Structure 1
Amino acid sequence: MRDDYPSFPGFENAYLEDSYVLDVAVHPGILTLQLDLLLLPSHPEWRHPLPGERACFRPATIVFPRVRDVRWTGQGVVKPAIGASGTLDFGSVDSLTRDADNYMLLGDWGKILLKSDMPFLSIDGSPSPDPDEPA
């Protein structure tokens, strides 16, 4: 049965399609995506957007553990953009789906097919204080 990422534990209130992929790394047994992740207001880590931001973004990492097979096609087709902060931006995750332990990721950076355990999402650091919440 095919599932989309919002059904994965921990991904429910994140929106990958408007997040920014900052890095994709493949090492023996692990694949990671570094993101500037867009959180939906229903996410427990959501805070009001900072001045100049259009939404709540947080640094995050998607980790695919125990990778047993990986195929990455379409690499290098699109050059990364340079964001306002000077960081490289490889576009978004257009699609992340699963069929059993087979995953498919699509984005401007290519197409990745892999076999791994369930990915997990880790939000980095602590959030900026929300000025609308009492201290």
Structure 2
Amino acid sequence: MQLDYSELPQLQGLYLEDSWVLKICRIGDRLVVHIDAVLTQAHPGYEAPNADEQHCYRRGEIVFELVRSLRWESDRLVRAAFDATGEPDLGSVDQFAQVDGSYVLAGDFGKISVKSEPPYFSLRT
């Protein structure tokens, strides 16, 4: 069975297809995906976008707690690109779903399969 990220209560109000992955870290039993996230109007942290932006972008982390297994596959060496401001990013999220008990993320950074507690999004303050 497959469940899209938009159906996970802890990730409501995110639009990941236009969000940017900045960094991915394994810290102990946690996987943290640092992200410049697009927030929809359904997210409590939503603000009207800046005049030069299409979406409301906010920095935050998608956190996977109590990681039991982690597999990160890539056909190439994952290197950050640099955006117009000079900040590194690993590309966008093309897929994020819960598939047969694992959470699967895919994009320019490769494909990550993780078994953990349900992921949640935390805004950086």
- TM (norm. structure 1) is 0.84
Q: Judge conservation of contact 1:101–1:117 (CA < 8 Å) in 2.
A: no
CA distance in structure 1 between the aligned counterparts of 2:51 and 2:79, rounded to whole angstroms: 29
Q: Judge conservation of contact 1:75–1:109 (CA < 8 Å) in 2.
A: no
- TM (norm. structure 2) is 0.90
Flag as ranges the 4+ runs of structure 1 deviating above 6 A: none
Query: Match of 1:48, as an amino acid?
Result: A
Which secondary structure does the structure 2 equivalent of 1:97 belong to? strand
Query: Match of 1:124, as an amino acid?
Result: R
Which secondary structure does the structure 2 equivalent of 1:6 belong to? helix
Match of 1:32 in 2: 32
Q: Structure 1 residues 11 and 104, CA, compared in 2 at 3 Å: closer, same or farther? A: same
1:9 equivalent in alignment to 2:13? no
Between Structure 1 and Structure 2, which shows a larger proportion of helix residues? 2
| CA shift digits 1:89-132 (9 cap, x unpaired) | 1111111111353111101001111111100110112xxxxxxx
Match of 2:84 in 1: 84
Bigger Rg over Cα = 1
Q: Judge conservation of contact 2:21–2:35 (CA < 8 Å) in 1.
A: yes
Match of 2:111 in 1: 111
Query: Match of 2:10, as an amino acid?
Result: G
CA distance in structure 2 between the aligned counterparts of 1:79 and 1:67, rounded to whole angstroms: 24
Larger deviation: 27-36 or 76-85? 76-85
Instruction: Count residues in correspondence.
Output: 125
RMSD of Structure 2 on Structure 1 (CA): 1.6
Larger deviation: 42-51 or 26-35? 42-51
CA distance in structure 2 between the aligned counterparts of 1:23 and 1:75, rounded to whole angstroms: 18
Larger deviation: 107-116 or 50-59? 50-59
